[in-house]
Amino acid sequence: MTRSDLVEELAARFSQLTHRDAEYAVKTILDAMSDAMVRGHRIEIRGFGSFSVNRRPPRIGRNPRSGESVQIPEKRVPHFKPGKALREAVDARTAELGALESRKP
């Protein structure tokens, strides 16, 4: 699902929202989440999951072309951990789809 798909879904579910309002709502939520993560905050959405910032320590890597060693600096990267309800819903749904696929001739 893309951002525009999310806007379309929101506008379809809530008929009182115009497409522009739905787009603004999605943009506002994503911007707020991005800003919080940039500041180092953790975001937790109950039943869905949590977003946090992980630290990748500095390390030595290799340039694949020349083979020489390269110093890779420390990085901060976003990380998503799905909640229990989301994991169970995805597992149940994929199991249903797998059962349907196995019944096809």
Tens of pLDDT, residue by residue over 16-36, are 999 999 999 999 999 999 999
Give residue 105's pLDDT band: very low, low, confident or very high (50, 70, 90): low
The superfamily in CATH containing domain 42-105 is IHF-like DNA-binding proteins (4.10.520.10)
**What is the rounded distance in angstroms from the CA atom of residue 80 to the CA atom of residue 86?**
12
Whether 14 has a pLDDT exceeding 80, the answer reads yes
Domain definitions of the chain by residue range: 1-40, 42-105
Whether 72 has a pLDDT exceeding 80, the answer reads yes
Q: pTM above the 0.85 mark?
A: no
pLDDT of residue 78: 96
> Could you give the angle at the alpha carbon of 13 between the alpha carbons of 7 and 16, nearest 5°?
90
105 versus 54: the higher-pLDDT residue is 54
